[in-house]
Amino acid sequence: GNLEWLDKSKSSFLVLWRRPEEWGKLIYQWVVKNGLTNSVFTLYELTSGDDTENEEFHGLDESMLLRALQALQQEHKAEIITLDDGRGVKFF
């Protein structure tokens, strides 16, 4: 479950350290643990901000972060939003 094909001919693939749903779970646990539900964050704040420096998802690739947040959005725990200077997320 941690290998993802990048093309239809299956000639290149991506090995995932964690699946997007697992990253989403870690991020949401951090949000709840720190009492940050109903808060809005930029994607940069989540992966590069001082508040997440000691978290496993700090430095996570933006494409994987988006997939993790999409998984949380499907569970109605977050909503990806467009901000003036990029994208953000609101947690519920």
CA distance 80 to 72: 9
Other residues' Cβ atoms within 10 Å of the Cβ of residue 37: 13
- Pick from 83, 51, 55: nearest CA to 68: 55
Residue ranges of domains in the chain, CATH in brackets = 20-91 (1.10.10.10)
Please give the chain's pLDDT, 92 residues, in tens: 788 888 999 999 888 889 999 999 999 999 999 999 999 999 999 999 999 999 999 999 998 999 999 999 999 999 999 988 789 999 99
CA distance 60 to 57: 5
What are 52's two structure tokens? Answer: 């997440």
